[in-house]
Amino acid sequence: MDGSSPLDDLPALITQTNIHFQALVERTLAELKLDHLLRPGMAPVLFALYEEDGCIIKELAARTQRSAAALNSLLGRLEKSGVVSQRPCQQDGRAVRVRLTAKGREIEPRMRELHRRVVAAVEQGLAAGEAVQASSMLRRIIAGLQQDETRQN
């Protein structure tokens, strides 16, 4: 950016995007009557489990690109909501296996509708190729932020 104002630069735009995105997800969760079970940020974990139920936390962290510490907190809230269960892994006593409960499976159609609505809202106003370009740029930004995080640890 040209640096004219910190309010107009990329970090500020990312912050604004996140604020509006979180509000969209919260509204949509409420419309789908999922807000009593879920909070923004939980959907990627559920979708990872819909694809491959019974993951250990380390695998789930890699698939959702979250730290194990952040994932542990989120999984605790999902377990309290009755959507997942966590049990020691029989093959590796140090690992914890995460499984969807019956309630977690029962909400899958509404989770898919949540995803459909959120994608439609995010992509409105973008040409077909622009959504692909935006995704690519965001992946590169995330990778850069992760590299910086790794250097700091």
What does DSSP assign to residue 98?
E
CATH 1.10.10.10 fits 10-152, yes or no: yes
Average pLDDT over residues 126-150: 89
Please give the C-alpha separations between residue 68 and each of 27, 90, 111, 139, in angstroms, as whole numbers. 28, 20, 23, 20
Q: Render pLDDT for 70-88 as a digit per residue (tens, 0 to 9).
A: 899 999 999 999 999 999 8
Give the separation between CA 107 and CA 102, rounded to whole angstroms: 9
What does DSSP assign to residue 124?
T
Q: What size, in residues, is the chain?
A: 153
Give the separation between CA 19 and CA 66, rounded to whole angstroms: 19
Whole-prediction pTM: 0.85
Q: Render pLDDT for 11-68 as a digit per residue (tens, 0 to 9).
A: 999 999 999 999 999 999 999 999 999 999 999 999 999 999 999 999 999 999 888 8
Helix-strand-coil split of the chain, %, nearest 5: 65, 10, 30
